[in-house]
Structure 1
Amino acid sequence: MTGSQRSMTSRRGFLRYTGMGALAIGSAGLLAACGDDGGSAAGKGGAAGALTKPTRFRIASAPGDNYFLDQVNVSEKQFEAYNLQIGKLIFPQSGVQAMQLLAGGGVDGMVQDPILTMASYVNGQKGKRPVMVGMRIPETTYSIVANAGTDFPDDSASFEDKMKALKGKRVGVAAVGAGSDQQLKLALEAAGMTYDDVEHVGVGQFASGIAQMKAKRLEAYVTVTWATTRLAAAQTGGRVYVDFLADSTPEVLRNQQVQYFITREDFLEKNPAVIQAWLDAQTEAKDWVVANPDKAADLLNKTSFDGKGEQFAKDYITHFTDVVVPKIQPDWRVPKDAVDFMIDIAVQLGTVKEGQVSYEDLVAESARA
């Protein structure tokens, strides 16, 4: 199958199951449930603003720093304090699969890329579409890691030259059509290239991507988070090749804000207090990280990096507290300019049509800044 054929097949599949022609499904057989129990027994509900009784709320998460606050909530029993019964965190294989689960009722909430969120919104049925209820990471977290042994331009090269050197190469993404794949498409276009100039290889979650890099099946890999980018480079003997946050990276990549709290429209309508409890628990987690940076770094290293990324975990916690937290709006509010910027990008990618979605469509009234 050629790169073009692989792309076309995956896009058809993505539209099929982010549209609501797909059957409603649970999580069995599609994903792993990971982490300690986050409150499956009757919660104590000791936090101010806790729900009046234990309430089920299933969260799709993933290894890595973008989702670390979920692990803090579990470790510090903060879900339990808000009477949220999460059972175990659910780990889909990709953002695409996570959206499938949300639409089908397999999960109730997650942090998600806005491009995928928009694709699901425009192809979904009213009531089952995703809605943004907050912004957790108000910056881009994507990068491209070059594998060891590749003869790519050095760090002094321009963004365009670095991207053009990828032509004809195998580049790993979580899944073809997923958020990382959309970012790769955008980066290629920013360098005057096309989607099919590289071979897009779906590799699943971070650990699988590392394994594929070590096996030399990839020349490069699109990483999704700040810390896993650096860990991937270290574990493969490669290097951070294109850092989307770098000043030399085009604004269309550098100025994105890419991680939003989302739920389904019907779930929010029926359970606004549950969503608020979730956001409040996340605030507790954020504040705990800021107050306990050493403990937070240790927890991140153990839960996301298998104890092998101590320094990267410490570096991320510093980045989170010094750079990310000051950008976060009170109660995780979602600024209009950030979403409008992402809508423009979605139009450029062809994910949505001009005028097809708006800030008011995508963001719950309670979450608007």
Structure 2
Amino acid sequence: MSILFTPLQLRHHILRNRIVVSPMCQYSSEDGFASDWHLVHLGQFAIGRAAAVIQEATAVEPEGRISYADTGIWKDEHIPNLRRIVDFVHAQDALIGIQLAHAGRKASTDKPWESRSQLPPHHPHGWQTKAPSAIPFHETDHTPEALTLEGIQDLVTKFKEGAQRAITAGYDIIEVHAAHGYLIHQFLSPLTNLRTDAYGGSFENRIRFLIDIIQAIKTVLINQSLWVRISASDWADGGWDVEQSTELAIQLKRLGVEVIDVSSGGAVRQQQINVKENYQVPFAEEIKTEAQILTGAVGLINNAKQAEVILQNQQADFILMARRFLQNPHIVKQFAQELDEDIDWLPQYQRAKETL
């Protein structure tokens, strides 16, 4: 049997194969509420036999949304709609996770298909953004407010409360979004964190916000798997890099984090990314090897043999995909066919299998 279709044992859960749906923002919510769109969007991947489905970046406060149309988990009223999604995915024998997030200085934008511009605070769909330091992402963006120590602790509490709501809704995986230039990543990177207090300067200080969040979330976990998505490199001189990412992963493992979901980039506009097949896989491999922690590889992993080689070479423990699932929600079945693996098809779709 291929490794790609071998189960992966987590602490309290089992991935039935090594193919996971990466979080994908849909910009299809009102006031943070998940809708029927999210149910169908996420449910189709579970029907397609993905091992786990990770829900899009879900904001822990309204100002933490990337756009006004993002999902949220800042109030109890969000829970019933989320539980409906969870129950459906579970009914397909898949795991489901949620990505807890705060966009920081990259918040308050329009829907991407309308405009990629940041909306000013006085706009009906905009608001004042927050960040570790008062540095805008783009020269045309408004300047974010630098968080006070009280504001930082308030956000730590909101991440904890978001995790508690996610647990109430039934999620198996809690993933903290510390990548792609959003708020936690803004604290990690020396290019975006110019603070001179306990949350800036040294490596230990720059990771403190994330460490505080993880410690807070741990107090409410029952049997959930705790993941952290990171950008392993800023792809910019003087920025966050894989060496710091590896040291962070070592510390996160000690705190009970089970998986590092390894992406990259997003912190600054001057990044120079060499985008090609497997371009982020070496980061996952180094973190897996040096930190001795489970890692997920993501980024231009397009076919089954490519994914299988990554796993055979022990460069990662599982594969995350986003665009490939958008192109084909049943890509898991295609990968199984490519590797000559026989996997269970739901009885409603059995006729399709018989015609292959």
TM-score by length of 1: 0.28
Q: Using CA pairs below 8 Å that are at least 6 residues apart, which structure has the higher relative contact order?
A: 1
Relative to total residues, which structure has the larger helix share, 1 or 2? Answer: 1
TM-score by length of 2: 0.29
